[in-house]
A = this chain, B = another copy of it.
Amino acid sequence: MTIETRAATVAPVLPVAPTALKPLGMKDIRIEGGFWGDRQQLNGTSIIPHCLHWEQRVGWVNNFSALVRGTLAEERTGREFSDSDVYKLLEAMAWEIGRTGDAELQRTFDEIVELIAACQRPDGYLNTKFDNPGQQPRYTDFEMGHELYNVGHLLQAAVARLRTGFDEDDLLVQVALRAADHVCDVFGEGGLNRVGGHPEIEVALVELYRATGESRYLEQARVFLERRGRGTLQDIEFGRGYFQDDVPLREAEVLRGHAVRALYLSAGAVDAGVELGDDELVDAIERQYQRTLARRTYITGGMGSHHQDEAFGADYELPPDRAYCETCAGIASVMVAWRLLLARGDLRYGDVIERALYNVVATSPAEDGKAFFYTNTLHQRETGATMPTDEASPRASGSGRAAWFEVSCCPTNVSRTFAQLATYVATHSEEGVQLVQFVPGTVSATLRDGRTVTLEVATGYPYDGNVRIEVLEAPADAWELSIRIPQWAEGATVDVGTGPQAAAAPAFVHRGEMPAGTVIDVVIPVTPRWVHADERIDAVRGCVAVERGPLVMCVESVDQPDGADVSRVQVDTSAPLSPTATGVEAQGWHLALPEEGSPYGTVPPSPERRPAPVRFVPYFSWGNRGPSTMRVWVPVGVE
């Protein structure tokens, strides 16, 4: 049974002020199968139920009912941000209900929301970890208390409701508006001069402004953003850079500190900059993000080199075996890139999004949607143990995906992102449509003067680079179709009916009459290629990676002859790369390595080796076939 959702535009990011490009909603874009359609399906059937099961099992939903019952002091479980994980799951459900109209999911949603609503104080404050009987008072730990962070995710869930056809009668929306008003009352200009240790409230407030028109929320986001970087948070072991409170937002040069914090903050700053017409702010974030992409980003699009503080490292400090690359940071990077794409109209951000989606976000969930990587290493040296399916992992990282974590931000973040995926596929402008991602399905957009374009896209991407676009509906006169051409796509062509034309990054743009029935054939060659790294990424000197289309590939021990450990593998870059069904085969060697003895000596090591094929599989797929070792960057052997 399905329910009817009412809004035509269902998108998580929906600027009010003019932007170079405008987003489309889930009602405008339908994904039909393929790589991402399968994941949307998995989300509905497996990931959402799995997250709900665990949030009930570990007591995070119960925290709300215990507060209602008056037994919170005895019963509360989870960290200070466990409320946010419930809100993130509600957000995922909200988008999913908007996408599918699932009535059963709606009932589950309603039950949880009723519990939450019953916990809200008359002044709008809402938290199961602070200010209740037996707990620390509210607003006594801005560094680690996550109170404003929790509210941010509550607001985002409400935005999802408002964008999927519900209005201020919706109970969750009512709760969120009261919470947002409370935040404005307490933290407004002249109020408590504090910011939250974990940004999130900023991006949420802007979107709530966009969804309601209440400019007070935008103003509060502005206040939080301007207040940051002025040392109102305590100096901690990792320094104030950990929560971006070291340097005012406009003066920073690069993202630093805790990666998810830095990226959520950046996303909120771009949103606020757009709505306030504050180009200087958007410029500042774009500059910082560009430098981060150039110097502090893994080949997968993953960010964060430090386990200790979940932080960016120094420029070019990108060790594959210590890659943190938190799944949430990958999602947050997509959020920033998407906002910059809209604000600047620069389709190169589509490359950034594609890289992070295929190689970080898609890597996190197991094939069955019931286990997740929290961190995404690029080099697994030890096979490790099989992870239990019925235990929450106390570890945020490891060789296998875990069913659940004590800090479990990632699974629900993956879930809400999968539910929204369609909105990242295309954008529109007065003049035309921009196809940003290659996904089978349909795209509809309304151009200037109400002229409508509907496209049907068919493709086996990313394994097959042929993309067939059929115009189902179009204005009679000229309109503009832009197709992102990835920077790596050497030899791409587009045929608008007049024969293949060379198409170069960042986009192929065709303006002309393309009536219904027009077929545009795009070829994005997904030929496997060797990839080299900048000299300064010391940790991968002498190594190469393999990419195939948008997919970063990896070598996994289970695929090698004799299951050879990946520390024994070298590739021959002078030999060709051959695509297989979903993988790539290279030529190289297996090394015979000594077991013991000093690892340092005056004679360069020259271990014996024998020729062997080296088999690459998509990085996102690794770790689904039992314990294995894996590496993305592989040493180059010289013939």
- What residues of chain A have their CB less than 8 Å away from a CB belonging to chain B? 235-239, 290-291, 293-295, 297, 299, 305-308, 313-317, 319-322, 379, 381-382, 394-396, 406, 487-488, 490, 529-543, 545, 567, 591, 593, 596-605, 607, 633, 635
Q: Which residues of the other chain, B, contact A534 by a CB distance below 8 angstroms? A: 593, 599-600, 605
User: Told that A314-B381, A320-B538, A531-B601 touch, could you supply 7 new A-B pairs with CB distance under 8 A?
Assistant: A291-B596, A306-B308, A313-B321, A317-B321, A531-B600, A532-B603, A536-B567
Contact A395-B237, Cβ < 8 Å, known A316-B567, A602-B530: yes
A379 cross-chain contacts in B, Cβ below 8 A: 538
The complex places the Cα of A307 from the Cα of B310 at a distance, in Å, of 11
A609–chain B nearest beta-carbon distance, Å: 10
Chain B residues near A395: list those with CB within 8 A: 237-239
Interface centre among A295, A322, A596 (most CB of B within 10 A): A322
Asked if residues A314 and B593 are in contact (CB atoms below 8 Å), the reply is: no
Given A538-B379, A605-B534: A237 touches B600 (CB 8 Å cut-off): no
Q: Chain B's nearest CB lies how many Å from the CB of A603? A: 7
Please report the C-alpha to C-alpha distance between residue A532 and residue B601 in the assembled complex, in whole angstroms. Answer: 5
Q: Shortest beta-carbon distance, A602 to chain B, in Å? A: 5
Pairwise interchain contact B487-A598, C-beta atoms closer than 8 A: yes
Contact of A307 among B306, B396, B490, B531 (CB under 8 A): B306
* Contact of B593 with A536 in the complex, beta carbons under 8 Å: yes
How far is A379 from B538 in the complex, measured between Cα atoms in Å?
A: 10
Contact call B538/A321, Cβ cutoff below 8 A: yes
Does the CB pair B541–A599 fall under 8 Å? no
- Find the B residue at minimum CB distance from A394: B237
5 of the cross-chain contacts (CB-CB < 8 Å) are A308-B308, A315-B381, A319-B539, A530-B602, A538-B543
Contacts of A235 in B (CB 8 A): 394
**CB closest residue in chain B, given A531:** B600
Asked whether, in the complex, the Cβ of B635 is within 8 Å of the Cβ of A535, the reply is yes
Return the chain B residue nearest A594 by Cβ: B534
B322 near A319 with CB under 8 A, answer yes
Chain B: minimal CB distance from A407 (Å): 9
- Expressed in whole angstroms, the Cα–Cα distance for A540 and B542 within the complex equals 9
Q: Which residue of B lies closest to A598 (CB)?
A: B294
Contact partner, A382, options B299, B314, B567, Cβ 8 Å: B314
Cα A597 to Cα B607 with chains together (Å): 36
- Write the chain B residue with the least CB distance to A537: B599
Contact of A600 among B299, B602, B605 (CB under 8 A): B299
Q: Are B598 and A532 in contact (CB under 8 A)?
A: no
Known: A395-B239, A537-B599, A542-B542. A381 touches B316 (CB 8 A): yes
The answer for the CA separation of A305 and B307 in the assembled complex, in Å, is: 12
Q: How near does chain B come to A635, taking the closest CB pair, in angstroms? A: 6
Among A239, A487, A532: residue with most chain B CB under 10 A: A532
Contact partners of A305 in chain B: CB under 8 A = 322
Q: Closest residue to A318 on the B side, CB-wise? A: B599
CA distance A406 to B235 in the complex (A): 13
- Chain B residues with Cβ below 8 Å from A291 are 596
CB-based nearest B residue for A235: B394
- CB <8 Å contact, A599 and B294: yes
Residue in contact with A535 in the complex, picked from B315, B537, B598, B607, CB distance below 8 Å: B607
Q: What residue in chain B is nearest A395 (Cβ atoms)?
A: B237
B535 touches A538 (CB 8 A): no
Question: Which of A538, A602, A605 counts the most chain B CB atoms within 10 A?
Answer: A538
Contact of B290 with A596 in the complex, beta carbons under 8 Å: yes
A587 to B591, CA, bound (A): 32
Are the CB atoms of A394 and B593 closer together than 8 Å?
A: no
Whether the pair B541, A596 counts as a contact (CB closer than 8 A) is no
Minimum-distance CB pairs A-B, first 5: A534-B599, A542-B542, A541-B542, A314-B381, A307-B308
* Residues on B with beta carbons closer than 8 Å to the beta carbon of A313: 321-322, 381
Contacts of A237 in B (CB 8 A): 394-396, 406
**Nearest B-chain residue to A236, judged by Cβ:** B394
Q: Are B635 and A604 in contact (CB under 8 A)?
A: no
Hey, which chain B residues are within 8 Å of A236, CB to CB? 394
Shortest A331–chain B CB gap in Å is 21
A316→B599 contact, CB < 8 A: yes
Which residues of chain B are within 8 angstroms of A543 by Cβ–Cβ distance? 538, 541
Q: How far is the CB of A594 from chain B (nearest CB, A)?
A: 8
CB of A565, distance to nearest CB on chain B (Å) = 10
CB distance from A340 to the nearest CB of B (A): 16
| A570 closest partner in B (C-beta) | B535
Specify which chain B residues have a CB less than 8 angstroms from the CB of A308 in the assembled complex.
306-308
Give the chain B neighbours of A320 by CB distance below 8 A. Answer: 538
Q: Which of B535, B539, B567 contacts A605 (CB 8 A)?
A: B535
A599 CA to B295 CA, complexed, in Å:
7
- A101 CB to nearest chain B CB (Å): 41
A214 to B222, CA, bound (A): 70
Assembled-state Cα–Cα distance A76/B395 (Å): 32
Min CB–CB distance A384 → chain B (angstroms) = 10
A379-B315 Cα distance, complex, nearest whole Å: 13
B contact residues around A319 at 8 Å (CB): 319, 321-322, 539
Instruction: Tell me if A293 and B394 are in contact (CB < 8 A).
Output: no
Closest to A351 in B: B598
Taking a contact as CB atoms under 8 Å apart, the answer to whether B321 and A593 are in contact is no
Of all chain B residues, the one with the shortest Cβ separation from A596 is B294
In the complex, chain B residues whose CB is within 8 Å of the CB of A406: 237
Q: Give the distance in Å from the alpha carbon of A275 to the alpha carbon of B305 in the complex.
A: 46
Residues of B within 8 A of A593 (CB): 534-536
CB distance from A413 to the nearest CB of B (A): 20
For A567, give the chain B residue with the smallest CB separation.
B536
- Chain B residues with CB under 8 Å of A394's CB are 235-237
Contacting residues, chain B, for A601 (C-beta < 8 A): 531-532
